[in-house]
Each structure stands twice: as C-alpha cells, then as structure tokens.
C-alpha cells in the first residue's frame, strides 16, 4: 500500500486525537509531521513527537495536511492552507474559515463523499454538532426527502477545549468541598448548569448564535438543499465528552419508526440503540470515546405531517472532529484523488 506523509497543524485536544485516530485506524502514514507555534516534544499515546514551528517551508514534501483548529481558533489555516496547497499538499481543515466557500467541499464521508471529486486541494471538516446531527438525519433524507428540521443540541465542554474540561472538573470538586469558584472559560458556572448560548450573535440570523447558524448553513450545503427550513438551539451542558441532539424532522412522505430504524441500522457509522421500555438509548457516558453516532428515541412526531423525532449522540472530538477528518483523507485515497 502506498504510504503518505501527513502533516498536522495544532496539537490541542483535536490535534492529539487526530494522531490517536491515525494510529488506531492504521492510516498509511510514513511520517506524521507535527507543526505548531513553538518547537517542543510531545508524548501522545506513548509515542514521542518532535513538534516543529509552522512555517511555509515546513509543508515541503507532505502529501496531506490536517489543520486541527477548534471553533473560533482563527489563524493557522487562513495563514498556511493555501501555502500548503501550493507546495503540493491536500489540506483538510477542521476550522470554520472555509466551510461556506463554494469552491471548498464540506464533507462527511458517509453522507456526501462524492463532493470530494471536484476538490481543489482544500476540504473542510464540518462543525461537530452538524456532523452528529446529520449522521442521524441524512440516511433518512436519502430515502425520503427532508422538508424541515428542528434541532436542540446538548454540547459537551470539550467542544470549547481543554481549559473548559478542566474548569468543569474544578467546579465540581469545589462544589463537593463547599468552596466557591469563579468561572474563567465561560461567563457563568457550567457545573450543575446549562448555558443556552454557544458562540456570539449571528447577523445573518437575528436572535440566533453562530453555532446555530453553522448547523443551518452547513446542513443545507452537505445535504444539497439550499432552502431547507432548519431551526436550532445550541446549549452547553456539564458533560465532558460527546454531544447529543434532539431532532424533530418533517419529511415529504411518511416514514414509520420501524422503517427509520431499518434505514439507520444499515447506515455506516450509525448505531441504533432504541428500546424505551428497557431504558436503552445513546448517552454521552456510553457513546463517548466511540467511533459511531448513536441514534435512539425514534418515534412519530405528531405535531407535523410526516414527522419523526429522534435522539443522536456522538463523540464530538472523535467523529465530530478528528475522526471525520481522517476519514476524509481515507476517502480521498480510496477514490484515487490523492
């Protein structure tokens, strides 16, 4: 099998997970070259990596470059993505800088891998909540077109980064010890609380946040339905890893819950866990750390014609970020596009 030289820009929570996923999936990498803002040594899953300073020359000789930027982390891909492409690399960007660029494919391989066929050297990784939502909805949409979707997300603190994970842990410890603590990462305490705001106000969607806008615009692009009606509320919850989404979907024709389970059970990357009587459904505590998106609580939504309600849950750092990016690279290889 052909081997590829892989570059990785950024070594935070997502970048670290990207290396783990590359190794776990036996990606054909002859080299993993880690680039960041400063030179140092990093140990990841028992392996030592020499981190180089990101410069234009640092991309020489690489075949694939994964940019591991998290939401709102501007700079790296804007500064270096085009430079890497000029030097012969195919870039897969986890950040949000290029997602809505018409010339850049926005890809979830199980859903719209065909979009890679016309790539121009740069592919965007969707937002974590978009990926987890569409893994549950897109297989149904392919059978019966979707007309409308309402989604409420329950997003873990790891989506904000390592500091947020530490803050939640510290606040829980402080609460148990009877100590007070001042929030640093979030405006309000996150322990034993929910925050109905992720991101800032979005001018294009008055009253909605940037996270909610991403779910709307990215879903439309990935599904290829530019006028799809979508409404969402994105909420930060005191969970370390894995996002959950409550979805109410309206389709052009009726889909029974039994038929929906049949479709989803056959969909790659989806695990149906749906037995209400036995209290079986996907939860962050059981889904976190896994590769699949769990779907459960599948039932008729009687509030609309041809409506279904369902619950999706997936690891936001893995399938919602690092794993999806690596899967894009695998799909490029499978299609002979690199």
Positions annotated as catalytic residues are: 128, 243
Q: What are phi and psi of 152, to 5 degrees?
A: -120, 120
Separation of alpha carbons 22 and 95, rounded Å:
19
Residue 250 to residue 141: CA distance in whole angstroms: 10
End-to-end CA distance of the chain: 13
Q: What is the token pair recorded at 287?
A: 């889904």
Cα gap 108→131, rounded to integer Å: 7
Cα-atom radius of gyration of the chain, to the nearest Å? 20
CA pair distance 150, 208, nearest whole angstrom? 13
> Which region holds residue 75: left if phi is over 0, alpha if psi is between -120 and 50, else beta?
left
Q: How far is CA 309 from CA 177, 215, 248, 254, in A?
A: 41, 18, 4, 12
- Which residue carries 């590359």 as its tokens? 22
C-alpha 152/C-alpha 248 separation (Å) is 9
Distance CA 21, CA 103 (A): 28
Decide: 41 and 99 in contact? Cβ < 8 Å. Answer: no
CB 238 within 8 A of CB 185: no
67/326 Cα distance (integer angstroms): 11
């Amino acid at each position: 099998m052909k081997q590829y030289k892989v570059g990785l820009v950024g070594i935070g929570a997502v970048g670290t997970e990207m290396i783990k996923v590359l190794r776990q999936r036996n990606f054909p990498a002859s080299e993993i070259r880690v680039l960041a803002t400063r030179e140092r040594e990093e140990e990841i899953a028992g392996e030592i990596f020499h981190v180089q300073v990101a410069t234009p020359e640092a991309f020489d000789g690489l075949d694939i470059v994964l940019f591991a930027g998290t939401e709102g982390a501007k700079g790296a891909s804007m500064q270096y993505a085009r430079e890497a492409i000029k030097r012969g690399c195919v870039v897969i960007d986890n950040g949000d800088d290029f997602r809505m660029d018409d010339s850049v494919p926005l890809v979830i391989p199980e859903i719209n891998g065909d979009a890679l066929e016309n790539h121009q050297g740069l592919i965007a990784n969707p937002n974590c909540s978009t990926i987890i939502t569409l893994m549950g909805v897109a297989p149904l949409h392919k059978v019966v077109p979707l007309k409308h979707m309402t989604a409420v997300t329950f997003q873990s603190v790891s989506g904000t980064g390592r500091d947020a994970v530490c803050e939640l842990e510290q606040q829980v410890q402080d609460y148990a010890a009877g100590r007070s603590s001042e929030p640093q990462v979030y405006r309000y305490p996150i322990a034993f609380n929910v925050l109905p705001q992720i991101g800032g106000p979005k001018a294009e969607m008055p009253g909605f946040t940037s996270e909610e806008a991403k779910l709307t615009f990215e879903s439309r692009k990935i599904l290829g339905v530019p006028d799809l009606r979508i409404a969402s509320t994105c909420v930060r919850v005191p969970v370390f890893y894995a996002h959950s989404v409550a979805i109410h979907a309206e389709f052009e024709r009726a889909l029974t819950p039994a038929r929906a389970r049949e479709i989803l059970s056959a969909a790659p990357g989806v695990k149906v866990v749906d037995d209400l009587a036995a209290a079986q459904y996907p939860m962050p505590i059981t889904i976190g750390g896994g590769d699949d998106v769990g779907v459960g609580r599948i039932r008729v939504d009687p509030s609309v014609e041809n409506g279904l309600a369902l619950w999706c849950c997936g690891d936001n750092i893995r399938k919602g970020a690092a794993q999806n990016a690596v899967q894009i690279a695998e799909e490029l290889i499978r299609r002979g596009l690199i």
